Structure 1
Amino acid sequence: MPESIDRAEATRHAARSTTPEGAEAAFLVAMIWGYGPSGYGAWRTARVLAENPRAADRLAEVALVARDRGGLAAFRDLADRPLRYLGVAFGTKYLRFVTAAQSSEPAPILDAVVRRWLATHSGLRLNIDEWRPAVYEDYVALLTSWSEELALTADTVEQLIFRSAISQEGSAAWGEQWAIAADAAMPPPARKAHAMLLELDRLFDTAEVRLAREARRHLDELARIIQQDWAD
């Protein structure tokens, strides 16, 4: 493994994801990419693999569905038989790299960062506390329509949303160099608060459904208050 992992590296490791051994390796790399330097990432990833019987086999099954029928079908398959402790945010990270390795149409990631950006900039509020195929289908349809207008792929549009969101929220782990000026315009207390909210969101991405649902409305309200205070 290299010292740093980008999307291309994670995609390369997903090339053999249709076998249990390859799927487990692809999943590990996707989780390393997704969690970054977070101290709880290793424990949460191990929990998915340890507390789901034949987890690697199940991940390989999903990869086969993704290869043969596409990302939407793979999402529906996971919704029908989800892996415990693997939520939409990190599940779609796995799906993204598996589909990118198997086809020319990667399944776009839908996590808390993208969800919050969409709520702020488009008014679209997506419930990702559970595996809801209809919600993901609406999300993919929206990205597809934007991608056609911009002459980009839906996956590229998701990446642009993600980079914009994390840069605005002041995440030291994920911020883009080209957007540092925009981040600098935010007062230091607001930058710190946004970074804390991002970390909390990532924690609840892999929490039990009941806990995530209870926390989500409070996190959304905190984000709204911070944004309003900054604007004022």
Structure 2
Amino acid sequence: MPDRIDRAEATQHAARAATPEGAEPAFLVAMIWGYGPVGYGAWRTARVLAENPHAIDRLAEVARVARDDGGLAAFRVMADEPLRYLGVAFGTKYLRFVTAAQSSGHAVAPILDAVVRRWLLAHHGLRLNIDEWRPEAYERYVELLTSWSAELGLTADTVEQLIFRSAISQEGSAFWGEEWAKSAEPPPPARRAQAALLEIEGLLDTADPRVALEARGHLDELARIVQRGWAT
């Protein structure tokens, strides 16, 4: 593996994900890209593979559906029988690279993670529940990005990337960025607070869905308080 993994590198490794032999490296690279240097990334990824019988076969099946029928169909298949400990935030990262790598005429499945979800809530008033694999929520998200992409002359995947970059530039995050640049200057208090909130939200992927849903409401309110507190 290279020292830096970007979207292009992860897409390249997903080209053979429709086979069990290709699904495993595709999934691992997608998780490496998603977690970056976060210390618990390797443990959480290993847990998905270790505690789901035939996890690799299941990932290959999802990749085949994505290749033949598109990302929405693959999301529905995953929702029918989710892999334990693989939530929507990181599961859609796998779907993104699988659909981007397999040129079958279908659109690239956009990522829906905590960073994008929080941006949509703050800037569009759209609250999406991603504590479980809910096809209706993902379809609503894809429809919104598709409408924006038509207005902008971009792909839905590119719109998601712009949202992600906007959220990172506004909030700052040492956990969910694509550029792992280090600076001698400490980040401002607002960025540290937002990064902490995002870390907690990411950890909710492993919580009971009912507890996670209640917690996210409190986290959203804390985010608004943080934004108001340092904006004045």
- Contact 2:6–2:178 (8 Å) recurs in 1: no
Rounded to whole Å, the distance in 2 between the matches of 1:165 and 1:66 is: 28
- Contact 2:172–2:192 (8 Å) recurs in 1: yes
Comparing 30-39 with 196-205, greater Cα deviation is found at: 196-205
Residue 16 of structure 1 aligns to a residue whose secondary structure is: coil
- Deviations, residues 34-89 of structure 1 (Å, cap 9, x unaligned): 00110000000000000000000000000000000000000000000100011100
Rounded to whole Å, the distance in 1 between the matches of 2:141 and 2:189 is: 32
**Number of residue pairs the alignment of both structures matches:** 225
Shift of 1:212: 2.1
Unaligned runs of 5+ in 2: none
- Deviations, residues 77-112 of structure 1 (Å, cap 9, x unaligned): 000010001110000000000000013521000001
Unaligned runs of 5+ in 1: 178-183
Say yes or no: does 1:67 pair with 2:50: no
Rounded to whole Å, the distance in 1 between the matches of 2:19 and 2:125 is: 40
Match of 2:117 among 115, 118, 126: 115
Rounded to whole Å, the distance in 2 between the matches of 1:123 and 1:218 is: 16
- Deviations, residues 99-155 of structure 1 (Å, cap 9, x unaligned): 000135210000010000000001111110111101100100000000000000000
Which residue is equivalent to 2:99? 99
Residue 119 of structure 1 aligns to a residue whose secondary structure is: helix
Shift of 1:172: 3.7
Residue 128 of structure 2 aligns to a residue whose secondary structure is: coil
- Contact 2:128–2:137 (8 Å) recurs in 1: yes
Residue 15 of structure 2 aligns to a residue whose secondary structure is: coil
For 1:183-202, what aligned pairs fall within 5 Å after superposition?
A: 188-202=188-202
Comparing 196-205 with 208-217, greater Cα deviation is found at: 208-217
Rounded to whole Å, the distance in 2 between the matches of 1:206 and 1:99 is: 25
Rounded to whole Å, the distance in 1 between the matches of 2:168 and 2:207 is: 21
- Contact 2:17–2:60 (8 Å) recurs in 1: yes
Rounded to whole Å, the distance in 2 between the matches of 1:175 and 1:99 is: 20
Say yes or no: does 1:37 pair with 2:37: yes
Shift of 1:206: 4.1
State the TM-score, normalized to the length of structure 1. Answer: 0.92
State the TM-score, normalized to the length of structure 2. Answer: 0.92
Which amino acid letter does the alignment assign opposite residue 223 of structure 1?
A: A
Which residue is equivalent to 2:151? 149
Identity %, equivalent residues: 79
Shift of 1:28: 0.4
Comparing 128-137 with 214-223, greater Cα deviation is found at: 214-223
For 1:1-232, what aligned pairs fall within 5 Å after superposition?
A: 1-103=1-103, 105-172=107-174, 174=177, 188-232=188-232
Runs of 4+ in 1 over 6 A off after TM superposition: none
Which amino acid letter does the alignment assign opposite residue 204 of structure 1?
A: L
Shift of 1:176: 6.3
Which amino acid letter does the alignment assign opposite residue 80 of structure 1?
A: D
